[in-house]
Amino acid sequence: MSLEQQRYTHQYLLNNEWKDSESGDVVEIKSPDDNASVGSVPAMSQNEVDAAVESASDVQENWASKDGHVRSELLHRWAEELEKMTDEIGMSIHKEVGKTLSSAKSEVKRTAELIRHTAEEGLRTHGSFIQGDAFPGASRSTKAMVQKVPHGVVLAIAPFNYPVNLAASKIAPALITGNTVVFKPATQGAISGILMVEALVKAGLPKGVLNIVTGRGSVIGDFVVTHPKIDMITFTGGTGTGKNIAKKASMIPVVLELGGKDPAIVLEDADLDLSAKEIVGGAFSYSGQRCTAIKRVMATTAVADELTEKIKELVNNMKVGKSTEGADIIPMIDQKSADYVTSLVEDAVNKGATVVTSGEHQDNLLSPVVLDHVTEDMRVAWEEQFGPVLPIMRVENELEAIDLEKRNEYGLQASIFTKNLENAFTIADRLNVGTVQVNGKTSRGPDHFPFLGVKNSGQGVQGIGRSIDSMLRDKVLVLNL
Ligand code: G3H
């Protein structure tokens, strides 16, 4: 059977054994392209999830006691095995989350690089040594050795839009630092996540160091998040779910990467060809289903008409179709998400937004919509669309743009397009976001840069080095000589 025809029936991993749920219950996964069944994963019970957490907890001390280079070597082998599976995993990403095959394979390659970099960076973690006499009344003979130790069992929850990359970006830093992992893939994306773990098993994963849990959020979601033997949670996904996790997971560290409403601020002196190209790439890749997609343009009135024309031309050249056709704009992950995005567009049009580009919508396949003259009373000015829609808001000057952005409930990234770097720095200083891009689209990579959101966009910091830091805590040993 060719990879294209393959239908996947996958099992979960416990102590390196692949298992079905005892109930035989499964969750079906449907292709965003045509709603056909791609395969299924076990719908685990709470008891089965409990066994996964207990096993990860049982072996954690032993895993943490291994030499750092042993853990690093495992990650290097994992990257190698993953690369060997690029075609197979690429195909499953393509089928279950509807990415084009080439971008699905790029995700696998990017992930192998991320794991390798983590394997290296993790070797360089170290603690510190503090003399007591710096504090009045304390003596030089009191000395603190500050060690870096793992939290214990890390619950890693990945989203559908990067089912492999955003899973490994949590799992690799957790493993290199001596944590064990309970991995919960997004349901849509679970098959690819499981295949990625198959590569880790081939690389020599010791028993129990990573276990997988799959199933219905309503049955196992809160159960695993509140499990007493989970010591840290790292999650990427929607803001609502992230806030719920933060509330429920009391007294343990939680790293969250959530939604965004990233603006592109285009000033009078911007290079408009560059701005239009970056904005369209930033807004529409993977049909806008990225937390870091550009989700609103704030164009200064002096350049708004010309910029809109350039954006229109680029968008009209994009191919709309199935991911199997290698289209630029592909079906959204499901009908519910498409309906939500459509409701935002309808609201804006009813309130007077100008439709710059539009086209046929068929089920969850939406043609790219560019809306001009979007105003503050429209929902799309504030709500995250997570789909192929780009609202353009016109502002008199940068002060108006800063004011608009300050009222944004999200704070992931922002782009500023200008030739005046001094001005860019001044504006960047005033924006309450995790990252400001100057003359480039909003985006997470390169993967070793710090990556964070403020306000409703998240808490904690990721990016290889910072993710490693987030998986460790201080442990202080005081010598009283
Ligand atoms: O969807 C959230 C991702 O972290 C965005 O990553 O900027 O590489 O597409 P990306």
pLDDT tens per residue, range 153-200: 999 999 999 999 999 999 999 999 999 999 999 999 999 999 999 999
Candidate of 255, 256, 290 to mutate for ligand 1, largest count of ligand atoms within 8 Å of Cβ: 290
- Examine the pLDDT at 365 and tell me if it is beyond 90: yes
106 and 16 co-located in one domain:
yes
Mean pLDDT of 378-396: 98
Q: What's the CATH number where 125 sits?
A: 3.40.605.10
253 and 266 co-located in one domain:
no
217 and 98 co-located in one domain:
yes
Mean pLDDT of 221-249: 98
- Examine the pLDDT at 319 and tell me if it is beyond 80: yes
159 and 205 co-located in one domain:
yes
Q: What's the CATH number where 389 sits?
A: 3.40.309.10
pLDDT range class, residue 6, cuts 50, 70, 90: low
Q: Which residues touch 115 (CB under 8 Å, ≥6 apart)?
A: 75, 76, 78, 79, 82, 168, 172
- From the number of C-beta atoms within 10 Å of its C-beta (0-12, 13-18, 19+), residue 403 rates as exposed
Kindly state whether residue 85 falls inside one of the protein's structural domains: yes
The per-residue pLDDT for 278 is 98
pLDDT range class, residue 8, cuts 50, 70, 90: confident
Q: Tell me how far the alpha carbon of residue 292 lies from the centroid of ligand 1, in angstroms.
A: 5
Q: Tell me how far the alpha carbon of residue 178 lies from the centroid of ligand 1, in angstroms.
A: 26
Kindly state whether residue 452 falls inside one of the protein's structural domains: no
End-to-end CA gap in the chain = 70
The per-residue pLDDT for 359 is 82
311 and 298 co-located in one domain:
yes
Residue whose CA lies nearest to ligand 1 atom number 6: 444
The model's pLDDT over 217-233, given as tens digits with 9 standing for 90+, comes to 999 999 999 999 999 99
Kindly state whether residue 437 falls inside one of the protein's structural domains: yes
Q: Tell me how far the alpha carbon of residue 291 lies from the centroid of ligand 1, in angstroms.
A: 6
The per-residue pLDDT for 358 is 87
Query: 300 near 264, Cβ under 8 Å?
Result: no
pLDDT range class, residue 9, cuts 50, 70, 90: confident
- Examine the pLDDT at 1 and tell me if it is beyond 60: no
73 and 105 co-located in one domain:
yes
Kindly state whether residue 3 falls inside one of the protein's structural domains: no
235 and 279 co-located in one domain:
no
The per-residue pLDDT for 273 is 98
SS3 call for 440: coil
23 and 94 co-located in one domain:
yes
CA distance 474 to 231: 14
Give the active site residues. Answer: 257
What is the rounded average pLDDT for all residues in the chain? Answer: 97
The model's pLDDT over 103-115, given as tens digits with 9 standing for 90+, comes to 999 999 999 999 9
Element (H, E) at 268: none
Which residues line ligand 1 at a C-beta cut-off of 6 Å? 161-162, 290-292, 443-445
Kindly state whether residue 453 falls inside one of the protein's structural domains: no
CA distance 167 to 248: 22
Q: Tell me how far the alpha carbon of residue 400 lies from the centroid of ligand 1, in angstroms.
A: 28
- From the number of C-beta atoms within 10 Å of its C-beta (0-12, 13-18, 19+), residue 142 rates as middle
473 and 385 co-located in one domain:
no
Question: Which region among 119-123, 136-140, 169-173, 407-411 has the lowest average model confidence (pLDDT)?
Answer: 136-140
Kindly state whether residue 1 falls inside one of the protein's structural domains: no
The per-residue pLDDT for 7 is 64
Q: Which atom of ligand 1 is nearest to the CA of 289?
A: 1
Kindly state whether residue 223 falls inside one of the protein's structural domains: yes
Residue type, 323: S
111 and 66 co-located in one domain:
yes
Tally the domains of the chain: 2
143 and 109 co-located in one domain:
yes
pLDDT range class, residue 2, cuts 50, 70, 90: low
Range of the domain at 109: 8-258+458-480
The per-residue pLDDT for 3 is 60
The model's pLDDT over 72-103, given as tens digits with 9 standing for 90+, comes to 999 999 999 999 999 999 999 999 999 999 99
* Cα–chain center distance at 280: 20
Q: Which atom of ligand 1 is nearest to the CA of 444?
A: 7
203 and 282 co-located in one domain:
no
The verdict on pTM exceeding 0.75 is yes
The per-residue pLDDT for 353 is 98
